[in-house]
Amino acid sequence: MAKKKNTTETRPGKAKVRAAIRNRTLVVRCLRANDYAQVVAIQKACFPGVTPWSKKQFSSQLKRFSEGQIGIEIDGTLVATSSSLIINRADISPRHSFDDACANSTLSNHNPDGDTLYGIDIAVLPKHRGKRLARRIYDARKDLITEHNLRSMLIAGRMPNYHKHASKLKPETYLSRVIERDIRDPVILAQCANGFVPLHVIRNYLPSDGESCGHAVLMEWFNPEYVSHRPGRKPPIDDVRVAAVQYQMRPVASFEEFCGHVEFFVDTASDYRCDFICFPELLTNQLLSIIPKRDGDTAMDTARRLSDFTERYVALFVRLAMHYNINIIGGTHLTVENDHVYNDAYLFRRDGSVACQRKIHITPSEAQWWGVQGGDSVQVFETDCGPIAILICYDVEFPELARIARAQGAQMIFVPFNTDIRPSYLRVRTCAAARCIENNVYCILSGPVGNLPLVDGSDIHYAQACILTPSDIPFSRDGIGAEGAPNIETLCIHELDMSLLRYTHSEGSVRTWLDRRHDMYQLSYGGRRVTDTLTPEHMPTPSAQADTTTASQVRK
């Protein structure tokens, strides 16, 4: 009888293979000084024709910023390397070179107090490509960015297929064609898939890169967890509670009666621990009911006399802001300056300081009834809850102003408005909702209701105060945080989650701020181009008059 064949004879071999697979190790770690020889070998394999780092340069990198020099080893052998440093975003020229970025590969320009991680290079041995090792390095860099609370990561991506099209296409045109998927470039498309946003082409970035003809694409990844820290102020608060007043316009018998109505709402909002309260546009038009008409006075003449209340108006709101510990957008007030009438919104901070935003776009009725003229500056104001902007009623119907404010860092836009009928109100509200979506900001709308039967140009009012959000999954349904019942006096309160703005800025379903086509259209303000890279640190400082006014200065 033949012996049965032992079918288990080959199993030990398979077990050894499985054990070998289990025992393989992949480690993402910081580079060490004794890695130098392997680093040079990887660079020669990945960048033929480019001189590898000298030992002195490599040692300098480890000394300056060891955390940013990341490698991957498999089974104890280094197979991928990378280098990075921290810079201040404002300090680097848009047209810098590779040597500018890394100080001739020494990283002597590393700035521990900077706000941006700059990726110098990533190199993966050819036989280990396709294993998503570069993605592991980018994940490690993102962890590093979060740990250091950096704003973003910059890289100058290669254009390895550009040499095939260089005779026919400029590098900028090539980039546009790649983004449109008309041309395939493995590096640029891979970086886009990894969350990077192409900013522009840097010509002559690395002349020795023949495949890219020396050029590169500056690309940026924004940290959704970034929290800005500015000298002289507390760390920003993630949750900001805001209140919008749906205010009853009524004739008053005295300035003191007006003060009582206003203080009621400030007191109530403070009881609810609000950080901000916003009053409507033309709030002080109530006071027109106590200004005696003189013979021959027109509505324009009477409105000019509202400026006589400016000192008391400012003193009132400064006192309320400090006493109730709340930031107040005090509606707007008609002010005469150099014989011109302006519609001014005031921010009264709870530390007693005052700032002013002048209405820029004037409606035909404002010009007709009161002779109001427009201002010429979009301000962004620092507060203890982050930067804010004020767009007064008609101003929110012009998308450019919100873009400018957002580029300067505004995350909340307060919209005091004054409308007479529902269609007028809907113009303001619909445009404010659009500004939320376009710029990834919150809008807080406050308007008046009721009647002023004896005041020319202010007889009837229609309003529905509301707090609007961007339209995406993490936000409130229909993009409405809170809203009042139409045309009754009330107060809307809502808590804004500022961390959601940071997250959806780069990780939202759509990225309306990041995905603008700067190659097709541009917006400029004050001689500077408005882009996705401008932040309050990088914009010109607002004038001292606009953002550091005290109550005594306003009275003067």
Contact 481, 441 (CB under 8 A): no
What's the token pair of residue 17? 């293979």
Structure tokens at 324: 């109730």
Backbone φ and ψ for 324, nearest 5 degrees, come out as -100, 5
Q: Which two tokens stand for residue 198?
A: 């192409």
Q: Is 281 a catalytic residue?
A: yes
Q: How far is 304 from 334, CA to CA, in rounded Å?
A: 7
Contact 539, 407 (CB under 8 A): yes
- Is 385 noted as a catalytic residue in this protein? no
CA 361 to CA 355: how far, in whole Å? 19
Rounded CA separation 464/245 (Å): 9
CA 496 to chain centre: 15
Half-sphere exposure of 60 (CA within 13 A, CB side): 14
DSSP label at residue 446: E
**Residues 6+ away with beta carbon under 8 Å from 501:** 411, 440, 441, 442, 470
Name residue 182's amino acid: D
Per DSSP bridges, beta strands 528-530 and 480-483 are: unpaired
CA dihedral 35, 39, 42, 44 (to 10 degrees): -140
Number of C-beta neighbours around residue 113 at 10 A? 6
Q: Which of 220, 281, 366, 382 is catalytic?
A: 281
Crossing angle between the packed helical segments 36-46 and 55-65, to the nearest 10 degrees: 110
Phi and psi dihedrals of 268, rounded to 5? -65, -45
- Amino acid in the structure at residue 267: D
Catalytic residue among 46, 278, 393, 431: 393
Q: Alpha-carbon distance 521 to 475, whole Å?
A: 30
Between β-strands 216-222 and 340-348, what pairing exists: parallel, antiparallel or unpaired? Answer: unpaired
DSSP type of residue 237: P
Helix ranges (DSSP H) in 194-292: 255-271
CA distance 449 to 248: 5
521 near 398, Cβ under 8 Å? Answer: no
Catalytic choice (359, 397, 443, 466): 359
Q: Within its chain, how far is the Cα of 238 from the centroid?
A: 14
Residue 505 neighbours by CB distance under 10 Å: 21
**Residues ≥6 apart with Cβ < 8 Å to 511:** 197, 505
- Look up residue 254 and give its amino acid: S
Tokens found for residue 546: 């606009």
Catalytic (active-site) positions: 281, 359, 393
